[in-house]
Amino acid sequence: MGRRNRREEVPELGEIRLGGFRRSETHSDGDWIVQQLTGTSATKPYRCPGCDQEIAIGTPHVVAWRDSDVDGRRHWHKACWGNRQNRRPGGR
């Protein structure tokens, strides 16, 4: 049986493709889009804004951005994202 050549869907302008499960969350600081990334889709290191530590290559983590600010997306450790509402302002 021959291969089927399928065209990949072209994302809409402003849409990002990271792989993983995407959901909407509402918090006291607004509406957020949150996407879980698997270790295999994490191909470069990132700095977590929650703990200011590096998220190593291959580490599953979360990418989050305000619903209206795709360019403001940040990569977080899962635990840091989950605990971000409990942090002291300006502190860790």
Instruction: Give me the domain span that covers residue 69.
Output: 22-86
Domain presence at residue 53: yes
Closest by CA to 32, choosing from 87, 90, 89, 84, is 84
Indicate whether 3 belongs to any domain.
no
The helix/strand/coil state of 59 is: coil
User: What's the pLDDT band for 8 if we cut at 50, 70, 90?
Assistant: very low
Whether residue 38 lies inside any domain: the answer is: yes
Q: Which residue has the higher pLDDT, 90 or 25?
A: 25
pLDDT at 75 over 50: yes
Among 49, 50, 58, 61, smallest CA distance to 20 is for 61
- The percent of residues in the chain predicted with pLDDT above 90, rounded, is 48
Q: What is the mean pLDDT of the chain?
A: 80
In a domain, 63, yes or no: yes
The answer as to whether 43 is a domain residue is: yes
Residue 59 CB burial class (10 angstroms; 0-12, 13-18, ≥19): middle
**Is 28 among the domain residues?**
yes
| pTM check: above 0.85 | no
Our count of domains for the chain comes to 1
Say if 10 falls within a structural domain: no
